[in-house]
Amino acid sequence: MNALSTIRQKVLNGIVKNPLVWILLAAFVIAEYGNYQRGKELHRVCDLLGLDPAVIAPGTAADEIANICAGRDNPYEDSD
């Protein structure tokens, strides 16, 4: 059991001391925040367009926008 603990400690120390891990983690956090912001913007567009949430087969650009908005379940509820 002690050998497993030693191996685990070496792996964790290697991850904590590796700058590439921190750079990739920061890039991931920035990307996820960007995705969150884009989702809020898309939801706002859907609200502003006031499209019916019924899904229809896309034939025009408006139909395709309606399909995109219909798939949104508003996980980004605005508080303002």
For residue 9, tell me if it sits in a domain: yes
Whether this prediction's pTM lies above 0.75 is answered by no
For residue 38, tell me if it sits in a domain: yes
For residue 15, tell me if it sits in a domain: yes
Report the alpha-carbon distance of residue 72 to residue 32 in Å, rounded.
18
* The two structure tokens encoding residue 50: 């006031």
Q: Which amino acid is at 54?
A: A
Q: So what's the pLDDT on residue 23?
A: 92
- Which phi-psi region, left, alpha or beta, contains residue 50 (left: φ > 0; alpha: ψ -120 to 50)? left
Number of domains in the chain: 1
For residue 78, tell me if it sits in a domain: no
Who's near 34: CB < 8 A, 6+ residues apart? none
At residue 10, φ and ψ (nearest 5 deg) are -65, -40
How does pLDDT run across 23-37, given as a tens digit for each residue? 999 999 999 999 888
How does pLDDT run across 34-72, given as a tens digit for each residue? 988 888 887 777 777 776 555 555 677 777 777 777 766
